[in-house]
Amino acid sequence: MSQNNKAEIGKRNVMGFDFGTRSIGVAIGQEMTGTASSLGAVKAKDGIPNWQEIEKLVNEWQPDLIVVGLPLNMDGTNQQVTFAAKKFANRLHNLTRLPVETHDERLTTTDAKARLFEQGGYRNLGKSNVDGMAAIIILESFFEQQWQHD
């Protein structure tokens, strides 16, 4: 496959972000396998992330696409943090010049805590672990949705 075709649908490396005002979970995934791995979390202050750290992760992992979890209310309506996540997605696009998509992330934090608890009990429930696992779940859900539309 030529370098220009690297980002063919189904063969992309995708970076996922679980946006939060104090911590942003990060994961890297492969569209072909539908799997993802946690890269931990990046600290944020009042919703403003450490952009140098994010840029370093993007440069290191060189994703073809970025997916940002979109926190919505259970009825699908926006909440205050939804707008902050959209702004974060726009800034990520401007910083990296990569395509950025948002993906519904309702209940990912709850799922992340449940998975981590199953893997190692309460000691596994640190904030960085939860945010990283939430980013994994966002990517896995995104991949699943892609397959359903093919």
Is residue 2 a part of any domain in this protein? no
- When pLDDT is averaged across residues 33-45 and rounded to a whole number, the result is 93
Mean pLDDT of 7-26: 86
CB count, 10 Å around CB of 115?
Answer: 16
Describe the crossing of helices 108-120 and 127-148 by its angle, rounded to 10 degrees.
120
- 5 belongs to a structural domain: no
**Residue 40 within a domain:** yes
Share of the chain above pLDDT 90, in %: 50
Quick one: which H or E segment has residue 129? helix 127-148
Q: What is the pTM of this model?
A: 0.82
CATH number reported for the structural domain that contains residue 29 in this entry = 3.30.420.140
Tokens 């909440």 correspond to what residue? 79
Residue 36 domain-assigned (yes or no): yes
Mean pLDDT, range 71-78, rounded to an integer: 81
Range of the structural domain that residue 46 is part of: 11-145
**Is residue 1 in some structural domain?**
no
Model confidence at 118, in pLDDT bands (50, 70, 90)?
confident
Query: What's the pLDDT tens digit per position in 91-112?
Result: 999 999 999 999 988 767 677 7
Q: What confidence score (pLDDT) does residue 27 get?
A: 96
Gap between the Cα atoms of 136 and 141, Å rounded: 9
Give the C-alpha separation, 132 to 109, whole Å.
10
b/e code 57-68 from CB counts within 10 Å (16+ = b): bbeeeebbbbbb
Q: Is residue 6 part of a domain?
A: no
Q: Confirm whether 3 is domain-assigned.
A: no
Domain count, the chain: 1
Determine, yes or no, domain membership for 75: yes
